[in-house]
Amino acid sequence: GIQVEQSPPDLILQEGANSTLRCNFSDSVNNLQWFHQNPWGQLINLFYIPSGTKQNGRLSATTVATERYSLLYISSSQTTDSGVYFCAVWANNLFFGTGTRLTVIP
């Protein structure tokens, strides 16, 4: 199956800092999605981004499909951004990466 790798595995930020999370995938895919799993386990879809760049508030994402990677940018981080960020790629079903665990400290 498709391999999806995320980096870094863990990230600790001071509130207000910016960060970039990376997702590499091993094969051509139809789409890529970013999810946030909060500390209580609830998964929320952030972006559907097969290519190009999208922005939603303090978050933005860029996918370069030809080079098989996607980036998630978090600006002016807040403690509520803490949790695990997953990217997932679609190839008949969703293949999830192992996630980046983000901790934002006040």
Residues near another protein, by CB under 8 A: 4, 30-31, 33, 35, 40-45, 48, 50, 86, 88, 90, 92-99
- Residue 58, Cβ neighbours under 10 Å: how many? 13
Minimum distance from CB of 93 to another protein (Å)?
Answer: 5
Judged by beta carbon, residue 31 or residue 82, the one nearer another protein is: 31
Token pair, residue 60, equals: 């933005």
Minimum distance from CB of 73 to another protein (Å)?
Answer: 20
Beta-carbon contacts of residue 9 (< 8 Å; ≥ 6 apart)? 98, 99, 100, 101
Judged by beta carbon, residue 23 or residue 74, the one nearer another protein is: 23
